[in-house]
Structure 1
Amino acid sequence: MTSRVTFISPAMNRSLREARFDDGSPLDASGAARAESAAGTLPTADQVLVSPTVRCRETASALGLAARDEPGLRAPDMGRWRGRTLDEVGGAEPDAVARWLTDPAVAPPGGESVRDLCERVAGWLDASAEVAGRTLAVVEPEIVRAVVVTILKAPQAAFWRLNVPPLTATEVSGRSGRWNLRLGQPLGTPRTGADR
């Protein structure tokens, strides 16, 4: 049995543009327009999931996807840093930010560490290996990073070296938990027959 999961990063919003930890902002006009223009370009799926955030739900809707919330793919909890920019937090708590950016076991105050996020996503991937067919999942960029780190068995510190542009697809396919990876296909790009 082969499982395929296509992870789609959300369209642009104010939080992404400002490097702000998610604050529940909706998509901006250009982000919504880009997502709408990519509607109909995705392969059909047996199930469609979404990170339960405003920007992911709105991206799924703009893409014409009827998605259901998937708690296992939720955005990382940023604790008291939620809604603040990285510069704001770095100015107020430079030591805490430095520890968080260098040690995957360190969490934002009241939040979730990169290690815990990667372990959560690894558990979700293990369970999804038992689901035949294709899954589409509109997820936060941090989820895509955790997927890549997990599949490549990379050090969790590599999480910070991965860039996930808006409205790109990262696909994993495999059986029995042995995953293959296809990175960063821009949405709206024609797909060949082998890609469908």
Structure 2
Amino acid sequence: MVSTAAALGVAVEPDPSLASLDIGRWRGRAPEDVAADLPVWFADPDACPHGGESIRAFVARIGAAVDDGDQVIVASPVAQALLCADADRYFAVEVRPASVFDCR
């Protein structure tokens, strides 16, 4: 997020409440290393086979952290959480790098 803001010429103070999804023990591992757990994680927004944060908890945390009218610069997973209608639709949202969305 800080590097994105710098590229835009904007000074930011990182907000821990807008941190990306906590993927627990999957952090730093390649998708093929956790492939057996991926189907349940993609299918169930309450699942957290990685021991971190569920998609539902993540979407709720991000939604609670952002008030209407606030301007934020966020990483792709956080943008997905802001743009999805609910946690069940999180993986249906595609966010391309350097995208700008007006969520008002």
Percent of aligned pairs with the same amino acid: 30
* The one of 49, 55, 66 aligned to 2:11: 66
Q: How big is the shift at 1:106?
A: 0.6
Taking only aligned residues, the RMSD between alpha carbons, in angstroms, comes to 1.6
Q: Larger % of helix: which?
A: 2
Aligned residues: 104
Do the aligned residues in 2 keep the contact of 1:81 with 1:108 (CA within 8 Å)?
no
The structure 1 segments of at least 4 consecutive aligned residues displaced by more than 6 Å after TM superposition are none
Q: Larger % of strand: which?
A: 1
1:26-175 alignment, distance < 5 Å: 56-90=1-35, 94=36, 96-125=37-66, 128-129=67-68, 135-149=70-84, 154-173=85-104
d(CA) in 1 for partners of 2:18, 2:11: 16
Matched residue type, 2:45: P
Q: How big is the shift at 1:143?
A: 1.1
Q: Report the TM-score, using the length of structure 2 for normalisation.
A: 0.88
Q: How big is the shift at 1:124?
A: 1.6
d(CA) in 2 for partners of 1:117, 1:70: 15
1:176-191 alignment, distance < 5 Å: none
- Structure with larger Rg: 1
Matched residue type, 1:62: A
d(CA) in 2 for partners of 1:114, 1:68: 25
d(CA) in 1 for partners of 2:49, 2:11: 33
Q: How big is the shift at 1:155?
A: 4.3
Q: Report the TM-score, using the length of structure 1 for normalisation.
A: 0.49
Do the aligned residues in 1 keep the contact of 2:59 with 2:86 (CA within 8 Å)?
no
d(CA) in 2 for partners of 1:105, 1:78: 13
* Corresponding residue SS for 1:69: coil
| 5+ residue gaps, structure 1 | 1-55, 174-196
